[in-house]
Amino acid sequence: MVTKSNGAILWSGASLLDGAPIVVIAIGLAVRNLRKVNRKTGAMIQTYILRADMSPMDAIHGSADASICGSCVHRGDAGNGSGRTCYVNIGQGPTVVYKMFAAGKYPVCTDTLDLADIGRDRMVRLGTYGDPAAVPAYVWQSLLADAAGHTGYTHQWRVIDAATWSPLVMASADTAQDARDAWARGYRTFRVSMDAAKVDVREVLCPASKEAGAKVTCAQCKACSGTSSARKGSVYIPLHGGTAVMANAPKLAVRLIARVAV
C-alpha cells in the first residue's frame, strides 16, 4: 500500500488554472516521521502542488508558478519572482519534494480508495505549497473522506464555485475588502494582515500564530477547514515569514494598491 511510503503521488494532470502539467504529492505518511513535524501546524499530512515538468525555482523565475498559484499577490513580480511575500521557503520543502518526484521515489495512488486510505484518521493540510483550486475538488474530497480534519486556503475564491469549494478551504484574503467580498460569497476567510488589525468581530487572531502565543497547533485547532468546520468566524494573522519576506512587505503594499486600481 502507498501508506508504507512517507510520500505518494495523489494526482497528476492539467492544472485547472491554466492547463499546464502539475502533480500533487503528499508527504508525512509514515508513522515513524510523525515526530518530525512543523511546529506551527503540528502532525499533519502535507500536500505539495507542483509543476510536473520543472523545478519550483524554475517555475517561479519563468512565471510558470501561475499554474499552481494563480494570480496570488504573494508570488512577487512576474518573470522573476522578486519581491515575493509567500512564506514558503522554495529552496526547502518544495524543492526537496520535487527532486524526489523527479527521481521516481514516490508511489502513485491508483484510485480514490487509495486517497481515502492515505487520509484516514489523519489531519491533512491542503496546499502546503500551491493552491488547492489548481486540482479537481474530487481529489481533496476523496483524500478527506475519512480524515480526522484538515486545513486549506485558496486565492481563487473569486472565480471558483463557492458551493463546491467553501466547505474545503478558507478564502485567502489580503485586505479588509477581500474579506468582506469573500464573506458575501459564503466563504470563511483567512486574512494576512498588513497592519495586524482585525476587520470586525467576525475575525479572530490565529491561535497558532506567535502573536497569539502559539497556544495550539493547526492540527489541534482545526478551525481552517472552510465552512465544514464547526467554527463560524474567520481568522487573520499578521504578515509573516523569513527575513526576505518581511523585507518585501513594502512591495506587497504597492502590489495591493495596484490591484485595486486595475
**Higher per-residue confidence, 252 vs 40:** 252
Domain regions of the chain by residue span: 2-260
Nearest to 190 by CA among 87, 95, 99: 87
Q: Around 97, how many Cα atoms within 13 Å sit in the side-chain half-sphere?
A: 26
Q: What is the pLDDT of residues 120-176, one digit of tens each?
A: 999 999 999 999 999 999 999 999 999 999 999 999 999 999 999 999 999 999 999
**Can you say how many angstroms the Cα of residue 193 is from the centroid of all Cα atoms in its chain?**
17
pLDDT (0 to 100) of residue 262 = 43
> Is the distance from CB of 101 to CB of 50 less than 8 angstroms?
yes
> By mean pLDDT, which of 118-127, 169-178, 184-193, 209-218 is the weakest?
209-218
pLDDT grade for 19, boundaries at 50, 70 and 90: very high
Q: What is the pLDDT of residues 45-88, one digit of tens each?
A: 999 999 999 999 999 999 999 999 998 999 988 667 788 989 89
Place of cell 498559484: 69
pLDDT (0 to 100) of residue 108 = 94
**Higher per-residue confidence, 125 vs 252:** 125
pLDDT (0 to 100) of residue 113 = 78
pLDDT (0 to 100) of residue 79 = 67
According to DSSP, the β-strands at 203-205 and 189-193 are: unpaired
